Structure 1
């Protein structure tokens, strides 16, 4: 019985991240970064990201948040790389933090609501030095 309760709670977990759903954009110095998350359905959230640098081809990334044996897992699918999983670690309400300490960079992926915006970031160590990138996305459209 306890196993069934834990399994049900785990499947419902992405619903707690419904505040991420929608289309979001961030622009700085001519670089446009967009991220879109579908609302949770069947224990899964799916997302897509695109970064456009002036004069360069767009970079795309696909992401999922699912319940895996290791726990709630954010998986990044980047062209030319194997899928990279990041497992959720305890975080404050209204935020989600995922870690993969074995990954080169980043080792941490973070999302949180900041007012009407979606704040996101990646952190870790690259070349032996701490490195971080953060974005404050504005809503482009409401979730469907």
Structure 2
């Protein structure tokens, strides 16, 4: 009987490890990415999921200005998979993942002023990102197309 309990426990542990956490399904975002648009350079790096968490950092450099740095996490939360942005002197802002297809992630927080959505998707070998929301009744957005950084 004891051996059967141990075997059952090992099978249950193996099944739990085999079922990927929701955050693990976003592993396609992992890596170091870069976009050069004119003189503006944006770098974004995502650490591969581990323990239901991904960590990211984005740095944007514009000539004559101090670099802007944003720290982000994607975590399994009671509300669902949550992208949380931490930007210069602002409180952390959470966006919850909406249901969607493979290779795309749409995070939403309709209570936030701008953006209200943070979107990532694979564009072939590239990583495409977009922030968008409604401002004065009109949809506004900003897009990035990142290539893998060398």
Gap runs ≥5 in structure 2 = 1-15
Query: What TM-score do the two structures reach when normalised by structure 1?
Result: 0.88
In the comparison of the two structures, how many residue pairs are matched?
135
State how 1:1-144 maps to structure 2 within 5 Å: 12-141=21-150
Provide the rounded CA distance (Å) in 2 between the counterparts of 1:106 and 1:36: 20
Provide the rounded CA distance (Å) in 1 between the counterparts of 2:41 and 2:101: 28
Provide the rounded CA distance (Å) in 2 between the counterparts of 1:44 and 1:83: 16
Provide the rounded CA distance (Å) in 1 between the counterparts of 2:88 and 2:25: 29
Rg larger in structure: 2
Q: CA-atom RMSD, angstroms?
A: 1.8
Query: What TM-score do the two structures reach when normalised by structure 2?
Result: 0.85
Gap runs ≥5 in structure 1 = 1-6
DSSP 3-state at the match of 1:102: coil
Describe the shift of the 1:39–1:134 C-alpha distance in structure 2 as closer, same or farther (beyond 3 A).
same
Describe the shift of the 1:19–1:80 C-alpha distance in structure 2 as closer, same or farther (beyond 3 A).
same
Asked if 2 retains the 8 angstrom alpha-carbon contact of 1:10 and 1:72, the reply is: no
Provide the rounded CA distance (Å) in 2 between the counterparts of 1:128 and 1:79: 26
Provide the rounded CA distance (Å) in 2 between the counterparts of 1:52 and 1:127: 29
Give the CA deviation at 1:10. 9.3
DSSP 3-state at the match of 2:149: strand
Provide the rounded CA distance (Å) in 1 between the counterparts of 2:30 and 2:112: 26
Give the CA deviation at 1:69. 1.0
